[in-house]
Amino acid sequence: MAEAKKGWFDIVKSSYVWKSIFRHEYQDTYRNRVLQVSSNVFLHLHPTKIRRHALRLRFTWCMGGITFLLFLIETVTGVILMFYYRPTGEYAYHDMKYLQFDVPFGMIMRNMHRWGAHAMVIAVWLHMFRVFMTGSYKPPREFNWVIGVNLLVMTLMLSFTGYLLPWDQLSIWAVTVGTNMGRATPLLGHEGPFADFLGVNARYDARALLTAGRLVGAATLLRFYVLHCIFIPIIAAVLMIVHFWRVRKDGGISGPL
C-alpha cells in the first residue's frame, strides 16, 4: 500500500515538541480510559467509574459539587480583586469603591465574589442537610462527615473574615460584635469562665489574637486579609482534597435507600 498522505496534524504529532509532552499514542480503549483518569494529575481525584444513581439530581441535589464550583469562583474573582485591593486602613475602603466605580468589570467581579460567598454558605448548609437526610453520614462515611463539619467551619470563617474587608461601618461593627464573642472564650477569653486561671486580660487573650489589639482597627484588617486570602483557603483546600478522596474510598456517593 502506498504511503498514506500525511495531514498537518500528523506532522504536528510526529514533532519533537508534541512527543515530549504526550510521549505515546492514545488508543480509545476501556483500559486507557481508566488510566487517563487515574494517571492524570488533574483528574485523579475523580472516580474512574460512578454508579448511575450518583447522577440523579433528585438524590444528591449536586450541592457538594456546586459548593466546590462556588469555591473555585470565589478563588478566581478573589484573586482578581486582589490586583486592586490594599488591606490598609487608609486605602481599603477607597480601593473597594475604586473597584466598583472606576475599574472596568470591577463591579461584576466584586458582586460575583459577594453573591458567590452567600451562595456558598447556603449550598454548604443544603449539602449538609441532604447528607443528613439521606443518612450518608453513617459508617463507613462517618469520618467524612467530620471533615465536612470542619469544611463548614472554614466556609463560615471565610465569610466572617471577608466581611471586614470592605472596611465600611457595617463591616467594622459587624466584626466588632463578632469578635466580642471571643471575650467569653473559656480559659482564653478575658471575660470568659476561668479567665483568672491563666491571667488573660483585654490586651492578651483569644480576642486580641484575632483583632491584633483591643479594638477592631487597621491591624485587624490586615490580619483578617491574610486569614481570608491565604490561611483559611489553604486549610479548606487541603480538607476538600481529603473530603473528595474519602467519598471515593468510602464507596462512592451513597445510594438511594
Binding site for another protein (CB under 8 A): 180, 202-204, 208-209, 212-215, 217-219
Handedness of CA 229, 162, 120, 131 (dihedral sign): positive
Q: Compute the least distance from the CB of residue 217 to another protein, in Å.
A: 6
Q: Compute the least distance from the CB of residue 85 to another protein, in Å.
A: 21
Output 139 or 199, the one with its CB closest to another protein. 199
Q: Compute the least distance from the CB of residue 236 to another protein, in Å.
A: 20
Output 55 or 170, the one with its CB closest to another protein. 170
Q: If residue 139 lies in a helix (H) or strand (E), which one and from where to where?
A: none
CA–centroid distance for 235 within its chain: 9
Contact 229, 82 (CB under 8 A): yes
Geometric angle at alpha carbon 99, from 96 and 105, rounded to 5°: 150
Output 183 or 243, the one with its CB closest to another protein. 183
Contact 157, 232 (CB under 8 A): yes
Output 37 or 202, the one with its CB closest to another protein. 202
Q: Compute the least distance from the CB of residue 214 to another protein, in Å.
A: 6
Q: Compute the least distance from the CB of residue 204 to another protein, in Å.
A: 6
Output 213 or 252, the one with its CB closest to another protein. 213
CA dist., res. 202 & res. 225, Å (int): 23
Q: Compute the least distance from the CB of residue 46 to another protein, in Å.
A: 35
Cα dist from 75 to 93, 213, 229, 231, whole Å: 21, 29, 9, 13
CA dist., res. 244 & res. 136, Å (int): 14
Output 111 or 201, the one with its CB closest to another protein. 201
Contact 147, 242 (CB under 8 A): yes
